[in-house]
Chains A and B, each alone.
Chain A
Amino acid sequence: MSEYLTASGLEVSFGGLRALQDCSFTVERGRITCLVGPNGAGKTTIFNVITGFLRPDSGTVSFQGTPLDGLKPQAIVAAGIARTFQNLRLFVDLTALDNVVVALPAQAGEEPLAAIFRPLHVARTQQSRRAEAMRILDHVGLATRAGEFVRNLSYGEQKLLTVARGLATGAELLLLDEPASGLSASALEQIMALLRRLQTEGKTLLVVEHNTRVVQQIADEVLFLHQGHLMARGTPEQIVGDPALAEIYFGGVI
């Protein structure tokens, strides 16, 4: 039992729209937790709050005991939390390898003076970074596509790349926003295998997912969100099997 990631009393409003209402939940270390709920329930908003892109009107988020309030996105990444985006947001004009290299932490040559006055040192560290990035790409299964520009990758490969980018930051908690949506059956298998593999390596995953089959196959725990509030939590069987929740998810009004 550990207070790995806790959110308490989160409130977020956009104008008249209440995106999160007294939202509280915990995520336990080493587990794959799935965040489900109908559209507009606030799932992506939660991601935005945790990663520092959105400041809640009230409430806090703590990671391993330390509050994340007011921290900038890059500080939260440094603390060990990385996210992916539903609409990918990959760097289209860069290669797959470069997409990963950019996300590697603190590199020499990332500010101009070193680039000008120590070019050889920068070139050498670049080599080791590229090797590191290749290892990560290999880990997600994209080693053969490293030199390709993003626009030449298939949708499934692009999704794997977003996970690789998240891994590159060195984060131990990964927030994945719909990693399985829009994938073919084989790509789906590949990504689910990857997620399980990451878990065995000690990563904790918080996954937003709409696909109930995916949820059932990978989740250790499910958080059901509705109207910005945690409505229920339990094992996949409990949540997916609950008729009242199904009503909300499939037939209810947001």
Chain B
Amino acid sequence: MDFWLSYLTLAAIYVLLGLSTNLLVGIAGIFSVSQAAVFGVGAYIVSYLLMNDLTSFLPAMLVASAFCVLLNVLVTLPALRVSGDYFVVTSFGIQLLATAIFTNWTAGTGGANGLPGIPPADLFGKTLDDSKQLVALCLGAMVLGCVAFWLIMRAPFGRLLRAIREDELAVAAAGKNVLRAKVSAAAMAGAFAGSAGGLYATFLSFIDPSSFDLDSSILLLTMVVVGGARTLAGSIVGPFLLLALPQVLSLIDIPTTIAAAARQLIYGVLLIAFMLFRPQGLAGEKL
């Protein structure tokens, strides 16, 4: 029972990340390998605020989300103004730099050993340390995220982003500010990823840099690619499936030294296979 609750909670958190990555990569068409970095920033900020008793859970989440929004805007605005390929370099740089900071800034992030003892979330004065309550919290956040995503995509903003993905030039010729739309999408993606980070930190009560590295960003991309780009369904299917993968793999006898490499290898194969044979993923639209 505990395993299923754990899986469900984690899946809910990763759905938020899936929505985030889908907004950025699937909908706005921006290649990003730095989503895990933003996820990490959210996690570390909430952890810091809660561990030092500075605020309660909800304000901490708000601060983390706001910070991640700002981070994404600052990163995408100057880079996208130049070109999409330029942003690829920026994204790699941000991810590697974030990992370096998470690993080496021991004073702030606990360094490579991470931050243990993160207090649990609290809502309206009540501490949520029961696993069932945590599942409810994360599922609730997931539902909120899905509703927000759905509203965005139904609105003119969603239509504008779809048009941009098809033909940026024509959109600019129609008088719309393409850059602002993309940066707005990135900002929203930041909010989703930052919130996911906060939930992750209080759920596991321990975080370390290995959850927020380049490999994790690749996993997030794989979730969107497999689940399907640009749809709500794809953002849900991808995380649920890919989080089940390690369980499936544990049935096969893989030596622990290469278990992580085996997982990442599968993600790589999935990325290539889906791009070649099914770019719309399982439940999405063609990338």
Whether A and B touch directly in their complex, counting CB atoms under 8 A apart, is answered as yes
Main secondary structure of the interface of B (DSSP, over half): helix
Taking CB atoms and an 8 Å cut-off, the chain A residues in 99-117 that contact chain B are 101-103, 105, 107-112, 114-116
Knowing A74-B172, A74-B177, A169-B174, say if A94 contacts B151 (CB, 8 Å). Answer: no
| Contact, CB under 8 Å: B172 / A73 | yes
- Tier of interface size on chain A: 35 or more
- Tier of interface size on chain B: 20 to 34
Pairs across A and B, CB under 8 Å, 17 listed: A53-B172, A73-B175, A74-B176, A77-B173, A78-B175, A82-B174, A89-B170, A91-B163, A94-B162, A103-B175, A103-B176, A109-B157, A110-B157, A112-B152, A115-B152, A116-B148, A168-B174
Q: Complex: how many Å from CA A77 to CA B178?
A: 13
B residues less than 8 Å from A119 (CB atoms): 151, 155
Count, A-B residue pairs, CB within 8 A: 99
Q: Complex: how many Å from CA A205 to CA B275?
A: 44
A165 interface residue per 8 A CB criterion: yes
Knowing A94-B162, A94-B163, A112-B185, say if A122 contacts B171 (CB, 8 Å). Answer: no
A residues less than 8 Å from B166 (CB atoms): 91-94
Further 20 A-B residue pairs, CB within 8 A, beyond A91-B163, A112-B188, A169-B174 = A72-B172, A73-B175, A74-B172, A74-B177, A77-B174, A82-B175, A89-B169, A91-B162, A94-B166, A102-B159, A102-B163, A107-B156, A109-B157, A110-B156, A111-B184, A112-B155, A115-B151, A115-B154, A119-B151, A126-B155
| Contact, CB under 8 Å: A73 / B173 | yes
B167 interface residue per 8 A CB criterion: yes
Taking CB atoms and an 8 Å cut-off, the chain A residues in 122-154 that contact chain B are 122, 126, 129
Our pick among B151, B152, B171, B188 for the contact of A102 (Cβ within 8 Å) is: B171
| Contact, CB under 8 Å: B156 / A105 | no
The closest CB in chain A to the CB of B171 belongs to A102
Q: Lowest 5 A-B CB distances belong to which pairs?
A: A77-B175, A115-B155, A109-B155, A103-B174, A89-B170
Mask for B159-197, Cβ within 8 A of A = 1, else 0?
Answer: 110110011011111111110110011011000000000
A85 interface residue per 8 A CB criterion: yes
Q: Complex: how many Å from CA A90 to CA B156?
A: 17
Knowing A53-B169, A93-B162, say if A169 contacts B184 (CB, 8 Å). Answer: no
- Smallest distance from the beta carbon of A97 to chain B beta carbons, Å? 11
A98 interface residue per 8 A CB criterion: yes
Q: Complex: how many Å from CA A103 to CA B159?
A: 11
B residues less than 8 Å from A93 (CB atoms): 162, 166
The closest CB in chain A to the CB of B185 belongs to A112
The closest CB in chain B to the CB of A114 belongs to B155
Our pick among B156, B173, B176, B187 for the contact of A122 (Cβ within 8 Å) is: B156
- Smallest distance from the beta carbon of B83 to chain A beta carbons, Å? 15
Q: Complex: how many Å from CA A169 to CA B175?
A: 7
- Smallest distance from the beta carbon of B75 to chain A beta carbons, Å? 17
B residues less than 8 Å from A91 (CB atoms): 162-163, 166-167, 170
Our pick among B152, B159, B188 for the contact of A98 (Cβ within 8 Å) is: B159
Knowing A102-B171, A168-B174, say if A111 contacts B180 (CB, 8 Å). Answer: yes
A residues less than 8 Å from B155 (CB atoms): 109-110, 112, 114-115, 119, 122, 126
